[in-house]
């Protein structure tokens, strides 16, 4: 038989997992928004440290790394669909071509332009 204490821990875990899923959905659907840890934490009523801890412990990567991975994967998809580099860059939330190129090259070992060819 479960004690009330065990049920409480289970409920808390489900609460945090549900919150994490809502945050991940927000990131996926708002790639052009300010997705800094501070702004996303504030949007979800968390402090930045809690958001960072939640991602590190549940996703085994930092929040920043998670956002960059999602943006880069979407960029590859857009380029594969025929979008120009500048269009893909903007659609995944980058304003600076150099920053976008560096992030893309770091993740995929190729520039977006060479991927497109």
Helices 4-29 and 48-59: crossing angle, nearest 10°? 100
Distance CA 75, CA 27 (A): 14
Query: At residue 3, does pLDDT exceed 90?
Result: no
Reported pTM: 0.85
Q: How many CB atoms lie within 10 A of CB 114?
A: 11
Share of the chain above pLDDT 70, in %: 88
The class that CATH gives domain 4-116 is mainly alpha
């Amino acid at each position: 038989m479960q004690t009330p204490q065990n049920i409480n821990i289970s409920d808390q875990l489900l609460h945090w997992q549900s919150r994490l899923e809502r945050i991940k959905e927000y990131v996926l659907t708002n790639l052009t928004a300010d997705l800094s840890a501070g702004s996303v934490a504030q949007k979800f009523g968390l402090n930045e440290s809690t958001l960072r801890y939640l991602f590190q412990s549940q996703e085994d990567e930092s929040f920043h790394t998670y956002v960059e991975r999602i943006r880069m994967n979407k960029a590859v998809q857009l380029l594969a669909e025929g979008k120009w580099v500048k269009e893909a860059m903007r659609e995944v939330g980058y304003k600076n071509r150099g920053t976008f190129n560096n992030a893309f090259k770091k993740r995929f070992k190729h520039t977006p332009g060479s991927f497109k060819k």
